[in-house]
Amino acid sequence: MAGVVHIDWYSTVLRQEQFAIEVAYVAPLALRYGATQYAVHRSRDDRYKIMQMAWFETKQDWYRYWDGIEMIEFRRRNLGHYQIPITYVWYDELVAGALGPEVQAEPEPEPEPTAPAPPAIA
């Protein structure tokens, strides 16, 4: 069953800006391992918290990505820039939706004022 993996990164003090850039750089690599999409979000309430998400058809594809050479190297290179343990959770996707691109419609013209009807003569 298709699912999404949430990886909760928590960067160390004064490293959040650079680490967020590094996570954003490595996230698209999931597409090489069968991911259908990816996203990286940073909390507005806690600037050290970064959530990486990747959508996979199977858990095996996820593990190929997570245990792949690029992610092992990423974790090694950034050791000390994030807190351990790294937690990730697989969620089964039950439903998803989105709005398509917004289409700019031409505004309807203002209605022309009409003269009031003459009073009826009895």
pLDDT digits (tens, 9 = 90+) for 53-66: 999 999 999 999 99
Residue 7 in tokens: 């990886």
The secondary element (H helix, E strand) that includes residue 88 is strand 87-92
SS3 70: helix
Q: How many CB atoms lie within 10 A of CB 64?
A: 16
Topology annotation, domain 3-92: Alpha-Beta Plaits (3.30.70)
What pLDDT, on a 0 to 100 scale, did the predictor assign at position 86?
A: 92
pLDDT digits (tens, 9 = 90+) for 57-110: 999 999 999 999 999 999 999 999 999 999 999 999 888 888 777 766 677 777
Question: Please, are residues 3 and 16 in contact by the beta-carbon 8 Å criterion?
Answer: no
Quick one: residue 80, left, alpha or beta (phi over 0 = left, psi -120 to 50 = alpha)? left
Q: At a CB cut-off of 8 Å and minimum separation 6, what does 4 contact?
A: 53, 54, 55, 56, 90, 91, 93
Confidence of residue 37 (pLDDT cuts 50, 70, 90): very high
